[in-house]
Homo-oligomer: A and B are copies of this chain.
Amino acid sequence: MGGSTTGRRGPYAGTAARRRTILESAFEVFSEAGYRGGSMRDIAQRIGIAHTTLLHHFSSKSDLLAGVLELRDEHDQPGLAEAGGAGILRQLVEVVRRNQRTPGLTELYCILSAEATAPGHPAHEWFRERYVRTVGHTRAALEQMAQRGELREGVDPAREAQRIVALMDGLQVQWLLDRDSIDMAAQMREYLRRVSVPEI
């Protein structure tokens, strides 16, 4: 992927493409083995680059992590942007379903977001902004639904958006502790039906 574009678009395009290939490898390794279990050597090996080459692009595991979480959000964004109104809530259920298929990455996200609540944590600001964005998008979707008459009576878009995001996060803790105890996607769907007039 990186090699084929290097010549044509110059070193920057090559670097960007290489970074993306590395992040996709890290995404896979962390998804399978978790953050602690996945090593930088595994990530390099999977795409056949030297460990030192990897270090040139990402100097630490936590750098890689921030990149991976951004890539994960990017994967989710297109679907969310296309879907309007209640379609966005349906997409959220799909995001939860995807999280169930990538337990390592879900665990990673759960642990990192919790650790980053500590004010001095290097990812604190990144997560703070991420939540402003995520809650904001969800709120915008609910407001759009309200305009279309798709929101159930008494649902406040601002506070409901915080609760929907909170529910996604909280269900993960229970699911990660005991995967047989809970079907996260079914739980989300059942909950969102209480918010939405159209079928979710």
Contacts and interface: CB of A to CB of B under 8 A. Distances in A.
A34 B162 CA distance: 25
Interface string A19-54: 000000000000000101000000000000000000
A165 B167 CA distance: 9
Interface string A164-195: 01111111111011100110000100110010
Given A128-B178, A162-B187, A167-B166, A117 B194 contact: no
Interface string A149-170: 0000000000100110111111
Interface residues of A, number: 39
Contacts of A124: 177
Contacts of A116: 177
A16 interface: no
Contacts of A182: 162
A173 B114 contact: yes
A140 interface: no
